[in-house]
Amino acid sequence: MSIATTTHRSLLGAMYRALDPMCEQTTAAVRIACIPNGTECRFVVLIEERWRSEVYALLAERTSISTPPDGGPLNLSLQQAREVGELAAEVEMPAEVSHPVRMPRRMPDIRGGAIEHTYQ
């Protein structure tokens, strides 16, 4: 039984950060598995069919990865997976949603009413 190392986990995270924005941040659109293969691990990337052609075209343009002719899942070596992970810095992230500014919460005065009403 092989346990994924920290390097593989961080690489999986980088690959998700690179590929998810290309699929409109849809959580089920990208699936990646790290599979042990003897002394090395292979990374199998399955992209939902709706976005597959666009993502494969972008990967072919920006990396040295050759896409499968039948449009199936990508079977990447460690080096190829790193190339995909490096795309995370280049991919445009969606604009941040502005959150309302919250005022800090005021703690109740522990010398006064809060304790007086709690302990009778």
The tokens of 100 are what? 């309302």
Q: Look at residue 110 and tell me whether its pLDDT is greater than 60.
A: no
The tokens of 55 are what? 């993502």
Q: Look at residue 7 and tell me whether its pLDDT is greater than 50.
A: yes
Look up residue 39 and give its amino acid. T
Look up residue 76 and give its amino acid. L
Quote the pTM value.
Answer: 0.66
Mean pLDDT, residues 58-83: 88
* Tens-place pLDDT, residues 24-70: 777 778 888 888 878 888 999 988 888 888 888 888 888 888 888 88
- For 66-79, b where at least 16 C-beta lie within 10 A, e where not — what string? eeeeeeebbebeee
**Percent share of the chain, pLDDT over 70:** 70
Measured from the Cβ of residue 85, the count of other Cβ atoms closer than 10 Å reads 20
